[in-house]
Amino acid sequence: MKRIVAALMVSALLAAACGGTDESRGGNEDPFDEIPHASNVNDPRTGAAPRWEKVETLKGTGASTARFSIVENAIQWRATWRCTSKGRIELALDPAPQEGNPIAEGRCPDIGSGFAIETGDVTLQIEADVPWRIVIEEQVDTALEEPPLHAMSAAGSKELAHGKFYGIERGGRGTATLYRLANERLALRMEGFKTSANTGLFVWVSDARRPRNTKQAFRSEHVSISNLKSTLGDQNYLLPRSIDAAEVRSIVIWCEPIRIAYAAASLTAR
């Protein structure tokens, strides 16, 4: 119980939205207000905002033993279980941690999660009398290192535009490159990217040529294409097929909870 409560407390603390920890603004943020710059983007010691990454998906029926590895610098990890038949399920670590077992248990059919902090090679004992499915995820704050999509360098693909990130209400650095893939799909590649380590951020494509503040970004024609995968590192995004490349003039990193533009990259045609 101590383990689960502690992990949930960590999760609650990490759930603060982008910029939402600034109590000086009294919770009455206006998207057109001037936002004080408070960015750690140029500090090499700071990591990414914590994010969940999938480790493995486990499936089985009845009792089983699963083995997997959690990276040494993980903040914590979780096992999210699901069972659809009437019965029970229990998840325990072997050897048992000081905080005690099980890390999760429940009656089926249901869905639930258990949290743990052990890293390295992990052995999970599953006691169940029904079919089950378990997703293992680890929470990390390291740089994301997605390699370029193979389609970006395949025959028939083309680099359309390129630009460098700059800060708006928060800091920003790195590059953004827009590709047209051989199948006509548009794709975005961000490399060496970094912005303030917070959650609740989204990637917009915008028709603004060079938005300099939140008002310009907000009033532009824009489409939100994805949650930002990581505030640090290399990452890829496929754009919706409905987007016209001629209307993608910049990339904006947007904080939806308090509605401010963090950073942007103005794209120049190649």
State residue 195 phi and psi, 5-degree precision: -145, 180
Q: What's the CATH number for 51-140?
A: 2.60.120.1540
Instruction: Output the pLDDT for position 29.
Output: 43
For residue 37, pLDDT over 80 is answered with no
pTM of the model: 0.80
Q: Which tens digit of pLDDT belongs to each residue from 109-168?
A: 999 999 999 999 999 999 999 999 999 999 999 999 999 999 999 999 999 999 999 999
Convert 75-88 to b/e letters by CB count within 10 Å (16 or more is b): bbbbbbbbbeeeee
Longest dimension (CA), the chain: 60
> How is domain 144-269 classified at the architecture level of CATH?
Sandwich (2.60)
Parse the chain into domains and list their residue ranges.
Answer: 51-140, 144-269
Burial of residue 232 (number of CB atoms within 10 Å: 0-12, 13-18, 19+): buried
Rounded to an integer, what distance in angstroms lies between the CA atom of residue 17 and that of residue 258? 8
Q: Which tens digit of pLDDT belongs to each residue from 71-113?
A: 999 999 999 999 999 999 999 999 999 889 999 999 999 999 9
Residues forming a β-bridge with 64: 126
Which are the contacts of 2, defined by CB distance < 8 A and separation ≥ 6?
99, 100
CB 202, CB 228: distance < 8 Å: yes
The torsion of the CA quartet 8, 92, 49, 254, rounded to 10 degrees, works out to: -70
Q: Copy the structure tokens of residue 20.
A: 């939402």
Q: What residue type is assigned to position 103 of the chain?
A: I
Instruction: Output the pLDDT for position 47.
Output: 85
**CATH topology match: 51-140 vs 144-269:** no
What does the mean pLDDT of the chain come to? 88
